[in-house]
Amino acid sequence: MHRIDETAKFLPVNIAVATISDTRTQANDTSGDALAERVIRAGHVLAGRTIIRDDADAIAAQLRHWIADPAIDVVITTGGTGVTGRDVTPEAFGRVLDKTIEGFGELFRMLSYQKIGTSTMQSRALGGVANGTYLFALPGSTGAAKDGWDDILLYQLDSRHKPCNLVELMPRLKEHLRP
């Protein structure tokens, strides 16, 4: 299912991680910790990390900041993807995305269904592209953050993954912006 071409060169990408929460702190941010550890263990660069309150304006502002930074290739958030009144991460993403990657949310929910059953329908996990930067929103549970990385992003952000991966598309993400 996951094929890594060991003869190909691994290309590390710069990944920023944000936890979306009104209650998490650096001391208890287990989801953000899990993602950061996995990013580094996979050989990528942890290019930024923060905690943002559940506020669409604050989330969109941080996303715009990272999207504008040429040193950030990928942004992964954890939290705020549910259906309660404070869950506004997808709405904030909607303010900045150029394109959505529908398959990311669909795949996440399919994999999640195998672990938590129909409760996965409450997740609004999503992926997309903004100004050449990949953005992925995962649910806030540590298990969901691990699943999203271990079962999807680990492979799609590995330049050696075959038959294709998101890293090989990076040079082409801004084609529509070229004169």
Tens-digit pLDDT profile for residues 114-138: 999 999 999 999 999 999 999 999 9
pLDDT of 98 over the 90 cut: yes
Q: Is residue 4 part of a domain?
A: no
CB pairs under 8 A, 24+ apart, for 33-37?
34/142, 34/145, 34/146, 34/149, 35/76, 35/78, 35/138, 35/145, 35/149
Least confident among 69-83, 144-158, 163-177: 163-177
Map residue 105 onto helix, strand or coil: helix
Could you tell me the pLDDT band of residue 60, with boundaries at 50, 70 and 90? Answer: very high
Q: Is residue 36 part of a domain?
A: yes
pLDDT of 27 over the 90 cut: yes
Q: Is residue 17 part of a domain?
A: yes
Q: Is residue 174 part of a domain?
A: no
Tell me, what's the pLDDT at 2?
Answer: 74
Would you say 48 and 78 are in contact if contact means Cβ atoms under 8 Å apart? no
| Domains contained in the chain, number | 1
pLDDT of 36 over the 70 cut: yes
pTM: 0.96
**Cα 121 from Cα 143, distance rounded (Å):** 16
Tell me, what's the pLDDT at 1?
Answer: 67
Q: Is residue 30 part of a domain?
A: yes
pLDDT of 94 over the 90 cut: yes
Show the tokens assigned to 74: 């990928």
**Host domain of residue 125:** 10-169
